[in-house]
Amino acid sequence: MFDATEFPITRRWPAQHPERLQLYSLPTPNGVKVSIMLEETGLPYEAHLIDIGQNETWTPEFLSLNPNGKIPAILDPAGPDGKPLALFESGAILLYLAEKCGEFLPPDPVQRIETIQWVFFQMAAVGPMFGQLGFFHKFAGREYEDKRPLQRYQKESQRLLGVLETRLENREWIMGADYTIADISLLGWVRNLIGFYEARELVSFDSFPRVGAWLERGLERPAVQRGLNIPARP
């Protein structure tokens, strides 16, 4: 029988439904990857809002689950072999949930590894570059007199959008006809780039029509619409 209290994080964020998967997150581009995935799969889960503005990821309780102090993280009471599993890193969580449910990851070995390849592309390139662009364009970095960092991330973000634009030629989704964790990993970041980061004109987003159409298709999905607001902000 799973005892949630054995995990320190549940002492600060108690599980009302300990039999369900526990999500510790915030609706950021990385956070919504997991909430969207959970909504897409229909897995029962309980969401806990982690306030990064109040440094809650650096509390001992959260660090007990993710020593890197970042959202999202999950605690699955019914992990492999029926044993509880604590997991962090959004890309790893997407892969775990896809394998757990047998959805959004192609069974064909070649297509499977290609899908994971695009998730890694998001983790290693899109997320870090778009995030830095947001910092230098909208947040504290915009006050820096030296504009070379902003120019660097602007150009790199445009290049990455070009990679996606090329990939989406004659494809509805990243992997073709099938919507996968590759799309789920990228949707929140592309949306954030032109929305919250207000960088649409800066990166000439409208010059990437396939990416724009792909984003619109993704945002039309009901599970995506729900996942973008989970956990609900106060």
Give the CATH number of the domain where residue 62 resides: 3.40.30.10
Q: Grade residue 1 by pLDDT with cuts at 50, 70 and 90.
A: low
Q: Are residues 78 and 113 in the same domain?
A: no
- Final residue of a domain: which of 59, 74, 103? 103
Residue 232 included in any domain: no
Q: Are residues 87 and 126 in the same domain?
A: no
- Judge whether residue 167 has pLDDT over 80: yes
Look over the chain and give the mean of its residue pLDDT values, rounded to a whole number: 96
Q: Are residues 149 and 178 in the same domain?
A: yes
Domain count, the chain: 2
For residue 134, give the CATH number of its domain: 1.20.1050.10
Distances (CA, A) of 197 to 90, 106, 128, 135, 202: 21, 32, 14, 8, 10
Q: Are residues 217 and 114 in the same domain?
A: yes
Residue 230 included in any domain: no
Q: What percent of the chain stands above pLDDT 90?
A: 97
